[in-house]
Amino acid sequence: MNSADLGRRVGVPSTALFTDQYELTMVQAALKAGTADRRSVFEAFTRRLPEGRRYGVVAGTGRVLDAVENFHFDDEMLTFLRDQRIVDSPTVDWLADYRFSGDIWGYPEGEVYFPGSPLLRVEGSFAECVLLETVILSILNHDSAIAAAASRMSAAAGGRRLIEMGARRTHELSAVASARAAYIGGFHTTSDLAAGFRYNIPTVGTSAHAFTLLHDSERDAFRAQVDSLGRGTSLLVDTYDVTEAVRTAVEVAGPELGAVRIDSGDLLLVAHRVRQQLDELGATETKIVVTSDLDEYAIASLAAAPVDAYGVGTQLVTGSGHPTCSMVYKLVARARSADPADPLLPVVKKSLGAKSSRGGRKWAARRLDEAGVAEAEVIGSGEVPPELVDRQMLVELVRGGEVVGREPLETARERHVAARAGLPMSAMQLSRGEPVLPTEYV
């Protein structure tokens, strides 16, 4: 089973080669050294937020669960590893039986996070955990970056509708993941049918400039679209002259016209003029949709415009300037054997600069002030203070290799609304600033 089953069943191929070669060579060396079975704890976290960002958004957890569940090596893959001498024969034999059998805890999807937050804690043998590093990071780094951008755009939109339409601006598979992450972050619909099919995200779309240019006149194009899609359709009005197009659109569809879309020009000025014209023509309920290289700043600048919806592409699927979250996956604790009774020993990377990390199997909790607003992200590796027991962030996702934390996409979307609402109001500011919550270690 995978998360697509909550929408449509989609075959998921093995994710075992979505990895770096050194994950396998480490396994080979550990097997030979007799350390591969040592009980280990890995954590995914980021040392800092992208410059100027005030919070991060967890997205991709559901896809990580799919990836872990489908991480296995088939005969063709094993032959490739053997023929290319990537690893030796004993390691190939070990990989043939690989299935993750450990435990995973993590921040639930849609939650917000801060520097140091242990977003995912993976526990099991060293060998089975280290193999998952690359695929986990590739999913979390991408999806969380898109969700964070979407969240900022959602805050800037102030309740107005947001359409994800970035499929043509990124890799075809990234487009599906981007639409999913954007939906978690607050977007309402997507133009990408694969995302709609797989995740049950509502889809929208009408016509492009090419459709208008195909016809002998704009009127003919509008008539064809209305005859096919009905009066509630959205007509694109900036192929030629906007004023003339709006007039023609209302003449063809009547005051019941669903919406007009503006894709160029000074959107603030044009939107005001179009709204006035539509009202004068009696189309007072016709909506205005704007597109054209929008980001959160452009959306915020249109707050005073009579705009009903925004369509966002390039800036969304590239994380609005931050296409990754710089998350890392580090060994933080390990035992001297596979014996569950053998104590976990904290381990830590010590290095110059900002690449050091903190050892120990961690918990995280969010402390609230007297008004119920978050005031700190508290992280520790010992006993959880009694006052924070009910405020812990990590939830169980995988137990003994079995996925137990899968949930509908709508749940993650609703969670993000609540999580963002629980932050200080300064979190919604688009100006550059420090993380809105400090990270405290205890």
Query: pLDDT category, 357, cuts 50, 70, 90?
Result: confident
The percentage of residues in the chain with a pLDDT greater than 90, rounded to a whole number, is 93
Q: What is the pLDDT of residues 154-184, one digit of tens each?
A: 999 999 999 999 999 999 999 999 999 999 9
Q: Determine the pLDDT at residue 5.
A: 43
pLDDT, position 52:
87
Q: Taking the domains of the chain in order of start, what are their residue ranges?
A: 3-131+326-441, 147-321
Total Cβ atoms within 10 A of residue 255: 13
Q: What is the mean pLDDT of residues 285-298?
A: 97
Residues 6+ positions from 313 with CB-CB distance below 8 Å = 164, 165, 166, 167, 168, 169, 291, 293
* Band of pLDDT at residue 374, cut at 50, 70 and 90: very high
- C-alpha 122: how far from its chain's center? 20
Q: What CATH class has 147-321?
A: alpha beta
147-321 matches 3-131+326-441 in CATH topology: no
**What does pTM read for this prediction?**
0.94
Which CATH topology does 3-131+326-441 take? nicotinate phosphoribosyltransferase (3.20.140)
More confident residue, 377 or 354: 377
**pLDDT at res. 9:** 52
Cα distance between the two ends of the chain: 39
Alpha-helix residue ranges (DSSP H) falling in 107-254: 126-130, 133-157, 172-185, 193-199, 209-214, 218-229, 242-253
Is 70 exceeded by the pLDDT of residue 2? no
Q: What is the pLDDT of residue 1?
A: 42
Structure confidence by residue, pLDDT tens digits, 98-127: 999 999 999 999 999 999 999 999 999 999
Average pLDDT for residues 381-408, to the nearest whole number? 97
Contact of 2 with 66, CB cutoff 8 Å: yes
Average pLDDT value for the chain: 95
Kindly report, residue by residue over 236-288, the tens digit of the pLDDT: 999 999 999 999 999 999 999 999 999 999 999 999 999 999 999 999 999 99
289-293, 352-356, 389-393, 419-423: least confidently modelled range: 352-356
pLDDT tier, 49 (very low <50, low <70, confident <90, very high otherwise)? very high
| Backbone dihedral angles phi then psi of residue 93, each to the nearest 5 degrees | -60, -40
Report d(CA 282, CA 382) in Å as an integer.
67
**Contact predicate 45/127, CB 8 Å:** no
Q: What is the pLDDT of residue 120?
A: 98
Tens-place pLDDT, residues 318-340: 999 999 999 999 999 999 999 99
Instruction: Identify the pLDDT of residue 350.
Output: 79
Measuring CA to CA, which residue among 161, 185, 139, 203 is closest to residue 8?
203
Whether 58 and 112 have beta carbons less than 8 Å apart is answered as: yes
